[in-house]
Each structure stands twice: as C-alpha cells, then as structure tokens.
Amino acid sequence: MSVRKLKPVTPGQRFRVVNGFDAITTDKPEKSLLAPKKRSGGRNSQGRMTMRYKGGGHKRRYRIMDFKRTKDGIPAEVASIQYDPNRTAFIALLNYQDGEKTYVIAQNGLQVGQTLVSGDSVAPEIGNTMSLANIPLGTIISCVELRPGQGAVMARSAGAFAQLMARDGKFATIKLPSGETRLILITCRATIGAVSNSDHQLLVSGKAGRSRWLGRRPRTRPVVMNPVDHPMGGGEGKSSGGHPRSRNGIPAKGFRTRSKTKASNKYIVERRKK
C-alpha cells in the first residue's frame, strides 16, 4: 500500500495525491464476471429528478461479487488483485479447484497464488471465511454478515475492519468500524483480516473535475439558497443560516434520528461515538 504525490505541473495536479496501485496485479477484468451498470442520474421512472447533485461520470461495468462465500471446503487460488471502480476496496479474482471463478473483497496482505477456503473447519488465516462461532476471540475481521446466509454487509470498504470481542450463548459481540458494539448471531460469517487499500483515506482529488468523473455534480450550499428552497436560506449578506438542518427541517450535527422503538436496538451494546 502506498500513495504518490504528483509534481505540480498543472494547477489540478498541485495538491493531487494518487494511489500507488502497487497491490494491483492486472488491469484487465474477468469478462465472465462483468455486468452492465445502468445509472439513473438521480431521475425516477417518470424521468423527474428526485436526487440532486447526481449525473454524468465515467461509464462503468459492475463486477459480480461473491459476498456469501458458501463454497465450503473447496480451495481457491488468488489469480489476481484488481481495481474495482464501483468500490473503494480492491477485489481478488479466485479460481476454485472445480473450475468456477468469483470476485471477492481483497483483504490487506492477500497475495497472488495464495490459497483461500471457506467453512467452519478451516484455519483462521487472512482471506478465509468462517462462522463467528469458530473465529478466535480478538481476531480482526471484515465482510461481516448481519443475518445468517445474507452475505457480507458490514466492514466492506477500504481499510475497514471489525473485531470479535466475546461470545455468549448464540450471540457474538462485535466492535464495528463506527465504534458501535453490537450482538450478532454466531452462525453469521465473517472473513479474517482487514479490507485492502487502507491508504484510500489519504487520497486528494486535486480538482473539481474528478468529482464529475465520479458522477457527482456541484452541490449548492444551503446558506446561499432562498428561504423557499431551504430552511437555512435567506437573509441579507452573510447573516443567513441558523441551526444546521436538512431540506426537510430535520436537525443535523448531533441530532439523533434512530427510532427509539426499533426492534434491533436490543442488539446494540454500545452506540457509536458522536
């Protein structure tokens, strides 16, 4: 993992910090695992804009990912580590011994030629997937399921990881990347190791155009709008603003929006820090 700071030959490159991509081993994706990716540009089925500040961007193809890792006991060799335009983490192409190929989220330290396997009787090594019931306490994990058989939904972005803190009965205590401590069924699966591309947080785009390449349009600050457009709009000069809130009037910056009667509240041991 490394980053490169470019020389200031243009204004856009003066502050640009790019990924070194030293972990990437190929720039050609597996054709059989590509799918078309249609974008809405923030429009609904009637063609009306329902989400602002979306649109444009470079055309992408989706990489079909295996988040469930249910081919138990069948070894798979890591064929390559690749870049995925649809996520911040790198992905790994696995070649199973039965001939099947799949993409999975690459863990930090995963090497080409390494053998991965899933199941409850495998060794807790980087890249292997198993139930929380069989993972040693204190292990750094990622790609964690929330419900058995659902597939990984937590700790999937670049550099993210969770930690298995304890087990009691049919529940395991997990400390999530947000700082929240939560109970999860021990029959849920997780992958050993932290997610790759941990240097993603150090990147600097350098210019506004790069946001356009990613499909993000310019965002208007609420304080410069008119009162008809936003609760924080209006006022003469710089006297507008007021308490920070959303377009619908819901307070922001510290206001808790989680329902007090939500059924899953009983599984949260400790809430995330503000």
97-139 pLDDT, tens per residue? Answer: 999 999 999 999 999 999 999 999 999 999 999 999 999 999 9
pLDDT tens-digit series, residues 65-82: 999 999 999 999 999 999
Percent of the chain whose pLDDT exceeds 70: 99
- In the chain, the amino acid numbered 67 is F
Asked which of 141-145, 188-192, 226-230 is least confident by mean pLDDT, the reply is: 226-230
pLDDT tens-digit series, residues 210-245: 999 999 999 999 999 999 999 999 988 888 888 999
Enclosing domain of residue 45: 3-201
Same structural domain, 24 and 105? yes
pLDDT tens-digit series, residues 90-99: 999 999 999 9
For residue 81, the surrounding DSSP H or E stretch is strand 76-82
pLDDT at 61 over 70: yes
Same structural domain, 115 and 194? yes
Going by C-alpha positions, the residue among 85, 62, 270, 68 that lies closest to residue 173 is: 270
Mean pLDDT (the chain) is: 95
Same structural domain, 110 and 190? yes
Same structural domain, 232 and 139? no
Same structural domain, 154 and 70? yes
Same structural domain, 111 and 245? no
Confirm whether 274 is domain-assigned: no
- pLDDT at residue number 1: 65
- pLDDT at residue number 273: 80
Radius of gyration of the chain (CA): 22
Confirm whether 125 is domain-assigned: yes
Confirm whether 116 is domain-assigned: yes
Confirm whether 212 is domain-assigned: no
Confirm whether 210 is domain-assigned: no
Q: Point out the domain boundary residue: 201, 216, 248.
A: 201
Backbone CA torsion sign across 188, 192, 198, 200 = negative
Q: Point out the domain boundary residue: 201, 233, 257.
A: 201
Going by C-alpha positions, the residue among 185, 192, 194 that lies closest to residue 160 is: 194
Supply angle C-alpha 52, 58, 63, rounded to 5.
105
Same structural domain, 61 and 145? yes
- pLDDT at residue number 172: 98
User: Model confidence at 2, in pLDDT bands (50, 70, 90)?
Assistant: confident
CB 58 within 8 A of CB 212: no
Same structural domain, 189 and 154? yes
Confirm whether 110 is domain-assigned: yes
Confirm whether 215 is domain-assigned: no
Whole-structure pTM value: 0.92
The CATH number assigned to the domain holding 69 equals 2.40.50.140
Same structural domain, 51 and 106? yes
Give the separation between CA 163 and CA 183, rounded to whole angstroms: 12
How many domains are there within the chain?
2
User: Model confidence at 162, in pLDDT bands (50, 70, 90)?
Assistant: very high
Give the separation between CA 109 and CA 171, rounded to whole angstroms: 29
Same structural domain, 192 and 236? no
Confirm whether 173 is domain-assigned: yes
Same structural domain, 57 and 183? yes
Going by C-alpha positions, the residue among 95, 64, 65 that lies closest to residue 78 is: 95
Rounded mean pLDDT, 42-56: 96
Same structural domain, 30 and 137? yes
Cβ neighbours, 10 Å, residue 92: 25
